[in-house]
Chain A
Amino acid sequence: MTDQRDERLGAALRRLEVPDHGPDFHPRLMARLEQEAARHPGSPRRPRWTGPYMLTAVAAAVVVVALATTTILRGDGDLQPGPEPELITASVVRAKVAGALASLKTLQGEVTVECAIFTGTCSPTDDGGRTTMSSSFVTTAAGDERITGLGSTDDAAFSSVTRTYRQITSTGGGVQGQEITNVAAGPPDAFRRSVLRREVASVVRAFLTDSSDVPVTDTVEEGRDAWRLVTPVVVNKLAGPGGSGDQLEVVVDRQTGFPLRVTESLQGRFLQEIRLSNLVVDEPVDPSTFELAFPPGVRVFHQDVGFQRVTLDQAAAIVGYRPVLPTDLPAGFELTEVTAAAQGGQTGSEGMNPPAAGVVSVAYRRGFDQIVVSTRKTGDASPCGPRSAVSCWGDPMSSGEGETDVPEPFLVGGGALAGAQAELVVSARGTPHVWTVDDRLVVTVSGDATGDELRRLAESFAPR
């Protein structure tokens, strides 16, 4: 094919009038960009650790607690020494993590992050030095979150009751607020809830699933006998030179099972570290903890994501098809939330999947564990054209072009999705998931499940 261009038509088209922006366009855009930058990993302003990124760090740390804790703290948060095992392996740790996550109800504490790179969680100093930041946090099995910066005005909360996320951020131009309402039950439609604890929990779970042969060695950390787990991770090539680690190190107190630190490094060079302290487990939490009020005069940006909490019958009326859901759930999981929207957000790498229509997002929970099932119409008028709508879709859960998820393709062997080509993705930097597409629906199953469990889930779908 030759790239024939009609130059004269093009010249005429270029002479057509194009209106300027309205007078408030640029101020509005700059304010929004500044707000985004405040949450951006590489914000050039003062180092900060706030909002969803702060949630990510806390989430990672929280899960590491569960990962490593063989003895759960109760009530006053004092450490309760547990029996010292003769031998422990990563797979043994994984089994204990599963039990801890499944039974946890609430968790409170403080988390400290130290970083030497732009991590998505914090930023180094302007001269490239390390930054250390701390925050208190409270989180529940129902999904509530409250993250409050220590020594700053930054604050963020998500209420599972109102399904509203609120955030207060200090920027160079003052204090700004953000409110996101009617969020979906979970990914890939979770919008800014996508960084919540459960998804990061899945990352850690994936890390463990992938690392059953990771050796556990003895070490001494700050004078205490400890276990040290080291595992390689895939470098995010788009993070820039030195911007992503090739190794994670988890150090766990041997006597108590308490995590002392988690460190990410690249070729032995320190990148970032997370430390936990003052943990309190399963202490009752006042529901008002998760209601964040905006100070008077603060400019608040609102976003209504549009997902309604409904019954399955109501969901069918909204999306125009009868929902299909898995029937073979791992033991202990219960259906806790059904949300539906006539229009969903964009999904996939760089958000380049076709527009989502008729989205059902369903959550199953077991303690802090969560599995989310989403279905959306494949559509017949995608940018790829009606004959190729299926091929227009990519993995809705893609972690971005910089990541190197390697999917494992398989043919769904049973249930309502039987015969569909599916992909299983379990990697240390993303949420474990299965996705598939046919000429009717795009389906994702993601969360705290092993690869085998995800396969069984995909093969057990039935109309509901």
Chain B
Amino acid sequence: MDLVLPFPLPAWVLRIAVGLGLLRASALPQASGDVDRLVLARARRGDHRAFAQIVDHYDHRLRGLAYRLLGDRDRMDDVLQEAYVKAFRSMPRFKGDSALGTWLYRIVYNACIDDLRARKATVPLDDRLDVADPRPDPADVAIGRRDLAAALDALPPDQKAAVLLVDAYGLDYAEAAHALGVAAGTIGSRLSRARATLRTRLGPQR
């Protein structure tokens, strides 16, 4: 009998658990993430109501990603409109070699970056590696939501997306790399820089 999980776990946790023999492989998220396969199949055949169910399932996190990248609700809505329609249009070609959620993250991230570029926002994408930062971890300090939001907003979009996808939403490096269209090593460097910047900005407020 397969273990029924009472709460969702990040995919990497499940994979480790399967690797250790604690879970059967069937407990792993399917290619569609945890969206019902029938719903996914219907969406791929062009059922817009089925696709709306998928949107409902992922919308909160996609909304979070888009809002943190764009910083404005109206822009968030406009970009997500386009991204969701594009995703629906591309559903028949969704290959399933990544989780559905990862695929959607990538579409939304690309749409946000396009929007930022169109508005001539600065989108630095420097892949330089940072050295370890000796200052305390930002999560070890008393983080006020407003402070954290402001510090997060100050990050470049690529670092912001990396820290959201990995630290907040639980993607592993490979999944985040697929979502952002970069190498897994780049995710590591972006996380390192993002966390260092957050330490700098939040550290003095301890």
Contact = CB atoms under 8 A, between A and B. Distances in A.
Answer whether A and B are interacting partners. yes
Interface of A: 1, 3-19, 21-22, 25, 28-30, 32-34, 36-37, 40-44, 118, 238-240, 343, 346, 349-352, 355, 381-387, 392, 400-402
Contacts of B125: 381-383, 385-386
A19 B76 CA distance: 9
Interface of B: 12, 41-42, 44-48, 51-52, 55, 59-60, 63-64, 67-68, 73-74, 76-77, 80-81, 84-86, 88-90, 92-95, 106-107, 110, 113-114, 117-118, 123, 125-127, 137-140, 143, 145, 148-149, 152, 158, 163-164, 166-170, 172-174, 180-182, 184-186, 188, 191, 195, 198
A240 B40 CA distance: 12
Given A33-B84, A37-B48, 14 more contacts: A1-B185, A12-B143, A13-B152, A16-B149, A17-B145, A21-B76, A29-B55, A40-B45, A42-B44, A351-B86, A351-B107, A355-B117, A381-B123, A385-B127
A346 B185 CA distance: 26
Contacts of B41: 240
Contacts of A238: 92-95
B137 A8 contact: yes
B48 A350 contact: no
A44 B172 contact: no
Given A6-B139, A18-B63, A385-B125, A355 B93 contact: no
B73 A28 contact: no
27 contacts: A7-B139, A12-B145, A13-B168, A16-B64, A16-B145, A17-B145, A18-B67, A21-B59, A32-B81, A37-B46, A40-B48, A41-B45, A43-B47, A44-B42, A240-B41, A240-B45, A346-B110, A349-B93, A350-B90, A352-B106, A352-B181, A355-B110, A381-B125, A386-B125, A401-B94, A401-B95, A402-B92
Contacts of A239: 92
A384 B182 contact: yes
Contact of B173 (A3, A15, A17): A3
Contacts, number: 180
A41 B168 contact: no
B168 A118 contact: no
Nearest to B82: A32
A21 B67 contact: no
B45 A42 contact: yes
A5 B166 contact: yes
B95 A36 contact: no
Nearest to A9: B139
Contact of B85 (A7, A33, A349): A33
Contact of A42 (B85, B92, B167, B184): B92
Contacts of A10: 166-170
Contacts of B52: 29-30, 33
Contact of B139 (A12, A34, A346, A381): A12
Contacts of A352: 106, 110, 181
A48 B173 CA distance: 43
A33 B48 contact: yes
